[in-house]
Amino acid sequence: MTFKKSIISIAFAICMLTGCADSNHWTSSHPLYHKAPYGGIAVTGIENAFVITRSSWFAKRLEIDKDSMQIKGTQHCRKTFEVEMRKSYGNLTVLSDSAIIKFPEESLKLDDRIFIKGHIPEQGVTLKDSTGNEPPVVLILHEFIIGTDLKREDFFDYALIHNESGSIRKPDNVSAIFSYTLWDNLKQRPLFSAVDEIQQPITTYKLANLTNLIQIAVQKIRKNLIAGVDK
């Protein structure tokens, strides 16, 4: 009887290990990523990363004019992001997007079907801040998509990106999907890359909720950078 039980448990373990369930990996670490940034970090890409979909839905709730929703909304997100990063890391250097936009857009593989796209500095070229210093690590924010009921599979799993979603009348959640890379500026290599997803249940939606969404995102990035360290 115990023999039978152990066979079943082994079979179950194999099933777990090989992944009978959804097995996408949403993060990838460099084998030499040994220490998460602490105390100081540089960040780039935040001028162009934020995108708000369903702008009229947001405009109605945030009481912003529909035509200026993209500009004002993303500006708010960007500022909140900066403030939150500064809270988390103390010494924050913000590099303008022009530092990386000149490099060609490349794709980075996270898993068999998961690829993220972004401007990544060339091998042998270091990023410099306005005073000419070279920050040791730079967080490159590739994309930050805000919308309702979004799933990261639909954006980053190449088997699913052509799926069309049905029109949803009444959304349940405000979603944020963001991809980023922690860049080793001294050795010019990607230390850690990830795609994250946040679902924020909707009750009444105000600007404070959007601020809160960005706050959660920054905390998630910080946690992931620590969890991704290859021990």
Partner 1 sequence: MKKLLLILMFLVAWASASEVYFDSRFTLWKDATILIWAVNGESPVNASEFCLSLRRNNSGIGEPKCRELGEWERDSIAIRYGSWLSNNLEKGLPSSYLRARHPGMAAKIQALEDNIVLFIAPQGKNLQVAIFDETAQEPKAAGIVKANSDKIALSDDIASTFFDKRTKRRLTKEERLKQRTEPDDLYKEIPSLRIWAGMGIGYSQAHFPFTPDNWTKNHTRSRVKNYRATKDSVSLWNFIEDAAPYFSIYAGLTWHGFIGVEFMYRYSNRDMKTDNSDTIYRELDHWNFGQHDIGLNVLLSMTYNITPWLDITPLAFIGFQYTFYNEDIGLKDDVKKPSRSYEYRIKFEDVYKGALLGIGGQFVFKKHYGVDLRMGLSSRGRDLYEAPSPDAGAAPTTIGKSTIDCFVSLGFEYHWTI
Question: Where on the chain is the footprint of partner 1 (CB under 8 A)?
Answer: 30-32, 104, 106, 120, 122-125, 186-189
CB of 120 to partner 1, least distance (A): 7
Sequence-distant (≥ 6) Cβ neighbours of residue 116 within 8 angstroms:
107, 108, 110, 142, 143, 156, 179, 181, 193, 195
DSSP state of 151: -
* Residue closer to partner 1, measured from CB, 19 or 124: 124
CB of 9 to partner 1, least distance (A): 31
* Residue closer to partner 1, measured from CB, 19 or 31: 31
Q: Report the 3 state secondary structure along 199-210.
A: EEECCCCCHHHH
Reduce the DSSP state of residue 114 to 3 states and report it. Answer: strand
CB of 104 to partner 1, least distance (A): 7
CB of 185 to partner 1, least distance (A): 12
* Residue closer to partner 1, measured from CB, 148 or 181: 181
Q: Which residues pair with 51 in a beta bridge?
A: 145
* Residue closer to partner 1, measured from CB, 73 or 121: 121
Q: For residues 212, 56, 171 and 160, what is the CA-based torsion angle, rounded to 10 degrees?
A: -100
